[in-house]
Amino acid sequence: MLLAALFLASLTLRPQLVGIGPLLSAIRRSLGVSHSVAGLLSTVVLLCMGVFAPAAFLIARRAGTRWTIAGALTLIAGFGMARVLTKPPAAVILLTLPIGIGIAVAGSLMPLVVRESWSRRPVLGTSAYTTGIGLGAAVAAAVAVPLEHAFGSWRDSLAAFSLFTAAMVVVWIALTRGYGGRAVAAAGSLPRLPLRMGVAWLLVALFALVSITYYGVNAWLPSSFTERGWSHASAGALLTVVNAVTVPVGVFLAFRGDVFGSRRFWLGAGAISQLAGLLGVILAPDAGWAWAVLIGGGIGLLFPSLMLMPLDVADRPADVGAMAALMLGAGYTLSSAGPALLGLARDAAGSFTLAIWLMVAVTALVLGIALLISNDRLRRHPRARAAPEPAEPVASVN
């Protein structure tokens, strides 16, 4: 039941962010703002995901993982609804802040749930929630424009996402009875963030670079194709393809990642796929559907592999939480300006070509770093070496 709960909760972590991408042209016109200001709707969420990721561990230590995640989902639902009811652009952006905090807290605790409950099958647990994130993003991208057309406003689309999240709060609480993250709540002391570990900053750099491209694609890929004459529905469907492809790729990685290849192999394969797709968008945009598949395939390999890496370098649940908090916190903070800066590049150049070339450069850098990763580079966490392997948790995983 816990695995199902983790999957269902993860469905709520991207609709309020990814679902904006297909609607961004309508939102921009409705609010009367520039591309760079519209990009703040993504930037604000990413900044919150960075700044508040470390706080998730502190809250869970006192309230327990179960109730902390429930509270985070409630923030997403409640302020998601409040955002659609407000009119001024500044208020819309301001009310995006609590949504970002909720996404940050819930997303940061999911690696910890995996470490507590699936320490011997980390790829299985990680793939459950990364697949849910991908599926939630794909569905949000697919239904955002149809909901807007059906109900008459982009606000109605975002309201539907908020109502779904509210329902998942109830489902999460019902399915997680008996699980409370006791390993965190009972910890005698809070591990410090591994600020002096070189491998921790390697993870931060990788996560920041991958996030810049992922959220840049989700914010601006539809707009870049409407600029080329595609309809809003077709351009939004491209984003659906990108996120839908991540789901089977994530499932494939769940079954093969523990038994074949290495982190370097899967990261390199994901970067190559994404790089080819982005180059295709620039050089042969008429084949946009094919490039969307390649970009989605790259994302489907990159993000689950990155979310596994804190488990590679730490053994104790508390140390996994500290490593994940640094990777997510610093990574999202560094990448948060990406959507707004890419929008600024579009405003300056008059088209999205420059912005896409910037994403190509970032992805090439990811590939270069991935080629440097080895088992020796991912050395074990020093505190984990000194500590015995923790006992298996008693939470139900059926």
Tell me, what's the pLDDT at 184?
Answer: 47
Tell me, what's the pLDDT at 317?
Answer: 62
Q: Which fold has domain 2-386?
A: Growth Hormone; Chain: A; (1.20.1250)
In the numeric block, the tokens 């409950």 are attached to: 117
CA 25 to chain centre: 22
Domain boundaries, the chain: 2-386
Tell me, what's the pLDDT at 236?
Answer: 84
Tell me, what's the pLDDT at 101?
Answer: 93
* Other CB atoms within 10 A of residue 97 CB: 18
Tell me, what's the pLDDT at 119?
Answer: 65
Tell me, what's the pLDDT at 378?
Answer: 57
Q: How many CA atoms lie within 13 A of 246 on its CB side?
A: 30
**Structure tokens given for 25:** 């042209």
Tell me, what's the pLDDT at 369?
Answer: 87
Instruction: Identify the segments of the chain with pLDDT beneath 70.
Output: 119-120, 122-123, 180-191, 254-261, 314-318, 321, 374-398
Tell me, what's the pLDDT at 318?
Answer: 65
User: DSSP letter string over 8-59?
Assistant: HHHTTSSHHHHTTGGGHHHHHHHHT--HHHHTHHHHHHHHHHHHSHHHHHHH
Tell me, what's the pLDDT at 96?
Answer: 93
